[in-house]
Amino acid sequence: MKITLNSPLDMHLHLRDGDMLKLTAPLSADFAGAVIMPNLVPPVTTPAAMQAYDARIAAALDGADFTRYMTLFFTPLGEKELIAAKEAPGFFGFKLYPAGITTNSEGGVSDMAQADKTLRLMEEMGIPLLVHGESHGFVMDREQEFLAVYRHLATKYPKLKLSMEHITTAEAVRLLDEFPNICATVTLQHLIITLDDVAGGALRPHLFCKPIAKRPEDRDALLRAALEGHPRLMFGSDSAPHPRCKKEACGCAAGVFTGPVALPKLAEIFAAHGALENLQAFVSGNACQWYGLQPVQKTVTLEDTPMSVPASYRSYGEQVVPMYAGESIGWSIVR
């Protein structure tokens, strides 16, 4: 069995920087493009920093045909700064992080009221807002507690394109149907695992991410919405590489590295549920329609031939362990 995808997109990708970027960028380039996250150290907050980062990504890709949809780390800005951002080549939108909620987010928003003026201007200018939606409450309740913030934003700024990034709960799926100005991304791992897979037996640090995996009923609701082709749910890998030494350590870094296996594993999942006809919408069509994107023309053919996943990827002094390391998955990319 085979399927050919047209211009698949990853709507939430971490490529990191430096040597890690040189390793991970080529491993993510089977996609036609991706929305690139800005939480570097220091975060990408200006058009100049964004374009410099984009140039480093282009160099790491070494000629691969891969469109970078660049984001800026949200900080309160005025009209002049927002116009400069919108006019910068490659700019896609702003990523809002609650302060200290995840990797390299210490400079995020601590009081949503301080963002009001900027959000009003973004609404008028048609600039998308991508949000890491978690509170600082109990870890299993953080996304659910943040849904009130999404409702507030969707109501107060009804023309703002608002994306709930990497949703993990059944409640978030239901929220998609409450507001027409809300969309969402979901990761590969949250379609597959629950918290039991992470910590139910021996701790599996390479499956630890934020937002943390939730209950079986949450996983099932996410999977069902993806398989059924919900028009405002799109794939965003949140592929988040960390060096092995920072994953297999006290204070384990949050992130699952799925870039090299994302498309084959998605094909396997959709095929197993008899839903391959909806995979194109999930990995490209919904995003293109929602945001009006016209990605580079690129086809990727996948077939039900097993893929052996390396135990790790090592290059430029970095070693990174992917999801399904040392295992075999049922589909692969036709090279």
Task: List, for residues 257-300, the tens digit of each pLDDT value.
Answer: 999 999 999 999 999 999 999 999 999 999 999 999 999 999 99
Q: How many of the other CB atoms lie within 10 Å of CB of 134?
A: 25
- CA-to-CA distance for 44 and 105, rounded, in angstroms? 11
Q: How many CA atoms lie within 13 A of 238 on its CB side?
A: 30
Which residues lie closer than 8 Å to 163 by C-beta, 6 or more apart?
Answer: 11, 93, 128, 129, 130, 131, 182, 183, 184, 185
Q: Is 196 a known active-site residue?
A: no
CA distances from 63 to 66, 128, 201 (A): 8, 28, 43
- CA-to-CA distance for 180 and 76, rounded, in angstroms? 25
Nearest 5°: the CA angle 2, 276, 231 is: 140
In the chain, the percentage of residues whose pLDDT exceeds 70 is 100
- CA-to-CA distance for 239 and 70, rounded, in angstroms? 16
Question: Does the pLDDT at position 110 exceed 80?
Answer: no
The pLDDT of 53-60, averaged and rounded, is 98
CA torsion sign for 227, 229, 234, 235 is positive
Three-state secondary structure string covering 142-181: HHHHHHHHHHHHHHHCCCCCEEECCCCCHHHHHHCCCCCC
Contact 107, 135 (CB under 8 A): no
Active-site entry in 30, 197, 238, 304:
238
CATH architecture classification, 2-333? Alpha-Beta Barrel (3.20)
- The structure tokens listed for 215 are 């209950």
- CA-to-CA distance for 324 and 148, rounded, in angstroms? 35
The pLDDT of 44-58, averaged and rounded, is 98
Question: Does the pLDDT at position 70 exceed 80?
Answer: yes
- Residue closest to 17 by CA, chosen among 238, 328, 261, 318: 318
The domain segmentation of the chain, as residue ranges, is 2-333
Contact 320, 256 (CB under 8 A): no
In the chain, the percentage of residues whose pLDDT exceeds 90 is 93
The pLDDT of 9-34, averaged and rounded, is 96
What is the structure's pLDDT at 239? 98
CA distances from 73 to 29, 36, 99 (A): 23, 11, 11
Enter the pTM of the model. Answer: 0.96
- CA-to-CA distance for 255 and 70, rounded, in angstroms? 20
